[in-house]
Amino acid sequence: MLISSIALLEIWGRSSLPLAENIMVKRDRIITFNPNDDISYVIQTLSKKNISGAPVVDLEDKIIGIVSELDIIELVKKSEIENRGIEFIEKMKVSEIMMKDIITASPKATLTDLVSYMSKKDVNRIPIVDKHKKLLGLVTRDDLLRGIYNQIE
């Protein structure tokens, strides 16, 4: 038993699988929105910054939702069905269309954990938060692919 636990200890820390904190984009480089931002501002920002979505945070930087390209495209579809113009979209706020039921992970989550969350919930990005839900980072599908690619390279 002693020998086997020593053998195990030697292997401890040799895992090649990265953790969320190793592959995430850190807080200072993440674009976020406030619940009161206009949808037109979101559209302009997503387009300008070439991103497909972003976390929505409150004044304490705690995560309260995610807004994505698909939320906006769905809104366009809705405005078409209701035969309303682009003005309808412009007047709306982030809090009206953001996804509130979101999945988050801790910075110590492994690549495998993140892959399984992303696949199960079919989301494009997972906010990495501390125990008070304060935003620490963001892992997107691109970041996961880069994590996998770095292993096979």
Burial environment of residue 106 by CB neighbours within 10 A (0 to 12, 13 to 18, 19 or more):
middle
- Euclidean distance between CA atoms 6 and 139, whole angstroms: 35
DSSP code at position 32: -
The answer to whether 100 and 127 are in contact (CB under 8 A) is no
Q: Pick from 13, 28, 29, 132: which binds other proteins (CB under 8 A)? A: 13
- Euclidean distance between CA atoms 153 and 138, whole angstroms: 23
**Per-residue binder mask for other proteins (CB under 8 A), 108-137, x = binder:** ----xx-xx-xx--x---------------
By CB under 8 A, residue 70 contacts other proteins: yes
Catalog residues that contact other proteins under the rule CB under 8 A: 1, 5, 7-8, 11-17, 40, 43-44, 46-48, 50, 52, 69-70, 72-74, 76-77, 79-80, 83-86, 89-90, 112-113, 115-116, 118-119, 122, 141-142, 144-146, 148-149, 151-153
